[in-house]
Amino acid sequence: MPISIEKKCKDKGVKLTEQRKIIAKVMSESNDHPNVDDLYVRVSKIDSKISIATVYRTVKLFQESGILAKHDFKGSKARYEELNEGHHDHLIDVKTGEIIEFVDNEIEDLQKKVAEKYGYELVDHKLELYGIKKKS
């Protein structure tokens, strides 16, 4: 099975270069939400000649093509994650930085209602919860 990001590139007419394949592969295999530096380090292990400029250009391109999502969480650099069908929001552990993905349809519906109440059609949203792990 081909890497899903590569398939998306073809579908969207994005030229598949060696560098982009590597970046796609690394992103696919990352379960955390790496920032550009993290990504550059991981990518460099596979091909040390890839420049950071290419990494920046590629994440931007992938983001504009709807392949990756960019997140600006509080107090940290921009982080990226692969975008799949299932939309989700994030719960961030303020102590460790760990990120939990979640979906809550009830909240989603309410958001739509709030937007409508003010005469808007909701086109996008951002919901981030910041929490501290409870002792159990």
Partner DNA sequence: GTAGATGCAAAGTATTTGCGACAAG
Partner DNA sequence: CTTGTCGCAAATACTTTGCATCTAC
Site residues (CB under 7 A) for DNA?
14-20, 35-37, 47, 49-54, 56-58, 60-61, 77-78
Backbone φ and ψ of 26, nearest 5°: -60, -45
Picked from its own copies, DNA, none, the partner binding residue 35 (CB below 5 to 8 A depending on kind) is: DNA
Residue 7: helix, strand or coil by DSSP? Answer: helix
Structure tokens at 58: 């590629």
Q: Which of 74, 85, 86, 96 binds its own copies (CB under 8 A)?
A: 74
Picked from DNA, its own copies, none, the partner binding residue 105 (CB below 5 to 8 A depending on kind) is: none
Q: Which of 4, 16, 72, 84 binds its own copies (CB under 8 A)?
A: 72
DSSP 30-55: --S--BHHHHHHHHHHH-TT--HHHH
Give kind and range of the element (H or E) at residue 100. strand 99-102
Residues that bind its own copies (CB under 8 A): 72, 74, 91, 93-94, 100, 102, 104, 106-107, 110-111, 114-116, 118-134, 136
